[in-house]
Amino acid sequence: MGVLSKEDPELAALLVREQERQRSTLQLIASENFTSAAVLEATGSVLTNKYAEGYPGRRYYGGNAVVDEVESLAIERARALFRAPWANVQPHAGANANAAAYLALLAPGDPVLAMRLDQGGHLTHGSPVNFSGQLYRFVGYGVRQEDPNREWLDLDQLADLARAHHPRLIVVGATAYPRVIDVTPIRAIADEVGARVLFDAAHVAGLIAAGVYPNPLWLASGERGADVVTFTTHKTLRGPRGAAIVGHEDVAKAIDKAVFPGLQGGPLEHAIAAKAVAFREAASPSFRDYGRRVVANAQTLAASLEAEGFRLVSGGTDVHLILVDLRDFDPELDGKTAQDLLDAAGITLNRNQIPFDPRSPFVTSGLRLGTAALTTTGMGEEEMKRVGSLIATVLRARTDEVVREVRQQVRELCAAFVPPGLAS
C-alpha cells in the first residue's frame, strides 16, 4: 500500500486496521474466505478502467480485444469446472445472478417454490423485503420437524407444495443448511409439475468444484439435473466478490439477455479476470484437497462443539457449515448475546435462526459457523478442536476476564496461520 498511504493516509489507515483484524481474529463466517494473492492482484488490475457492455465479440464500445479474451477465458474455465454447456460470468453478486435467472425464466406473479428463509433459505428466495418476494409468488418448503431425519429437507412437503401450487420454478439451495441436497428427487418432482429447477450454489460452489459435493447440473445417472446453477465466487470457491451462472443450452440465451441488458450495465472486467484466476485455482488438485479438508474440519469442529454440550441442527454436517442450537447448552443464552461475546474474544461468526426457532430473527437461538476461511489459512483438525473448546469456554464463563484470556489465545493461534494475501 505504498502509493495509497501517501496519497490518502486516512483511507490507507482503515485498510491497515482491517488487515490487522483479518490477521488476528478467527474468521468463522460461513460465507467468507481468503483469496489468493493472485486473485487480489487481478481484482486490483487496470481492467477496472474499461467499459465493455455486451459480450465477447459483441461489445458496444471499442478497445475490447483484450477484454474479450479475458472474459472468454473466464467463461471457458467456468464451463470446464462445472461441466457446463454454457456460462455467464458477469453477475456482480449472487443476488444479481438470481435476479437474472428469475427475469429470464419467470413472469411477474408466477409461483415459485424455494426453501423457507427461517429454515435456511436466502433473502432472494422470496423474502417480502426483497424484490423476489415482491415480484413473484414464492411458496416456502422446509425441513422436517420430527424424527426421523429431524431438520433434514422435507421432500414430501416439497412434492405436496409442488402439486398444489404448480410452480414455474423450483429453487434449490440454501444459506444455512448443513446437509448435501441431492437434486435427483427434486428434478423428478419438477418434471411431474412442469417446473424448471434453479440450484443456488452460492455457498457450496467451491465444494462442487473440489468434487466433495455433487454437481447439481448433472444427476448421477448422467441425465440433466438443475436447468441452471447460480453461484457466488467469493464463498467456498475462494475467488473475488461476485457471481456467475452456469446452465444447459436452452436457458442460455434468455439468461444472457437478462444479465445484460436486462439487469446490469457494464461488466466488472477486473472482477471477471479475478474469477478466471479463481476458476483455474479451483481446477487444481490442491483445491480438491482443500475441499476435503474444509469438510473434515467442519466435521471435527462439529464433534468438538457437540462434546461441549451444543446441539447441532440436523445432527451434524456434510459441508463447510455448522448450525448450532444454543438451547441445550444453556436455555438462557441467545444467538445475539453469544455472537457479541465471541466477537469480543476475537471469534467472528454470526447468529442465525434455527428451524422452528422460538426467538426472533434479530435475537435467534442459533449460531452459524463455517470452516472455509480457517482451512485456507492452513488450520487442521487439531486447531478445530481448539476452536471448539475456546467457543465453549467463552460461552460458559461469560466474564470479561475469560473473554480477555481467550482473546489472547486467539491472537496466538492466528499468528501461526497467516492467510494468503495478508502475508506482508
Q: Which amino acid is at 191?
A: D
Q: Are 235 and 203 in contact (CB under 8 A)?
A: yes
Question: Least distance to ligand PLP from the beta carbon of 40, Å?
Answer: 18
Closest CB to ligand PLP among 22 and 132? Answer: 132
Cβ count within 10 A of residue 189: 20
The DSSP 8-state label assigned to residue 312 in this structure reads E
Side by side, which strands form the sheet with 111-115? 86-88, 243-247, 228-232, 196-200, 169-172, 111-115, 137-141
Cβ count within 10 A of residue 77: 21
Question: Least distance to ligand PLP from the beta carbon of 95, Å?
Answer: 3
Closest CB to ligand PLP among 98 and 304? Answer: 98
Cβ count within 10 A of residue 64: 21
167 is in an annotated binding site: no
Question: Least distance to ligand PLP from the beta carbon of 226, Å?
Answer: 14
Catalytic residues: 51, 53, 200, 232, 235, 241
122 is in an annotated binding site: yes
Q: What is the full DSSP assignment across 387-411? A: HHHHHHHHHHH--HHHHHHHHHHHH
121 is in an annotated binding site: yes
Closest CB to ligand PLP among 174 and 273? Answer: 174
Question: Least distance to ligand PLP from the beta carbon of 60, Å?
Answer: 26
Closest CB to ligand PLP among 173 and 267? Answer: 173
* Pairwise CA distance, residues 326 & 313, whole Å: 10
Closest residue by beta carbon to ligand PLP: 94
14 is in an annotated binding site: no
Backbone phi and psi for residue 405, each to the nearest 5 degrees, phi listed first: -60, -45
Closest CB to ligand PLP among 29 and 397? Answer: 29
146 is in an annotated binding site: no
310 is in an annotated binding site: no
* Pairwise CA distance, residues 169 & 248, whole Å: 15
Task: Return the bridge partners of 230, or none.
Answer: 200, 245
Cβ count within 10 A of residue 332: 8
For ligand PLP, the binding residues (CB under 6 A) are 31, 93-95, 98, 122, 124, 173-175, 200, 202-203, 232, 243
Question: Least distance to ligand PLP from the beta carbon of 140, Å?
Answer: 14
Binding-site residues for (6S)-5,6,7,8-tetrahydrofolate, please? 117, 121-123, 249, 360-362
